Amino acid sequence: MKSVKEIEKQLPGFNCGACGFRECHGFASALAKNEVSIDNCTVLKQERLKENRTALQKFVHNNKNTEKIEIKGLIDGVGADFALHPLDKEPSCRETLICFSSVPVEKDMIIRYRPLGCPIIHFARVIEINHNLLDVWVIGPGKLLSRKEDATEVGICMVLSFQGTIEGETPKVGQTVKFLPAHCMMGKVHSGIIVQLEDNKTRIDCIDLKVWQHTV
């Protein structure tokens, strides 16, 4: 596949917006530049699109070997040190949340919330609760993704940390970094501190949407 048009032919063509782009064309353009992961398109995970996904994976692999990745946020053009993708066989990067709501939350519950400082409503599955902190996967709105489920509204939550795999230059433990979560619908670069690192797997704490730009 040598052009955005050829990549776009392998995409579902739903223009659903779940990947963070208004149309599949925008996602195809970003994929051609190694700016996003194939995993951003949740529809491609369906069994009937297995061949399409395989074709795109081959393209991404070949493209990585020939082109240096430059990662930038979509909303403000800020450069990131790396992109953060999900851990192996997980649907999205893990997030640890503080939930301020008095609504009881249990494991496997689907919650609807807005991260503090973010204008986008998130839908997530609770995978673990530890000392009242919620570890979640962001899974998107069920109604738009053909899932039948009731989400529990919990209001504003604070994102404390991310866990995932690094695409890009490997940082050091204790380093303050700018990173782009692969599932972020705004394509917004986040900042945080590397507190765990094993190969390309990392945990980033002290999450903030405010990032810095070096002056020349």
CA 114, distance to chain mean position in Å, is 15
Domain extent listing, the chain: 4-69, 85-208
Q: What is the pLDDT of residues 71-95, one digit of tens each?
A: 888 888 888 999 999 998 898 999 9
Instruction: Return the pLDDT at 65.
Output: 53
Average pLDDT, the chain: 88
Q: What is the pTM of this model?
A: 0.66
Mean pLDDT of 180-206: 93
Q: How confident is the model at residue 69 (pLDDT cuts 50, 70, 90)?
A: low
Cα 37 from Cα 42, distance rounded (Å) = 11
Average pLDDT over residues 86-111: 94
pLDDT digits (tens, 9 = 90+) for 157-177: 999 999 999 988 889 999 999
Instruction: Give burial (CB, 10 Å; 0-12/13-18/19+) of 119.
Output: exposed
Distance (Å, rounded) from C-alpha 169 to C-alpha 57? 21
Domain range 4-69, CATH class:
mainly alpha
What is the C-alpha radius of gyration for the chain, rounded to an integer number of angstroms? 17
Closest-CA residue to 1 (of 78, 75, 66): 66
The predicted pLDDT at position 1 comes to 44
At 136-157, the pLDDT tens digits run: 999 988 777 777 888 999 999 9
- What is the three-class DSSP state of 102? coil
Q: What kind and span of H or E run contains 152?
A: strand 152-168
> Residue 214 has what pLDDT?
52
Does 182 have pLDDT greater than 70? Answer: yes
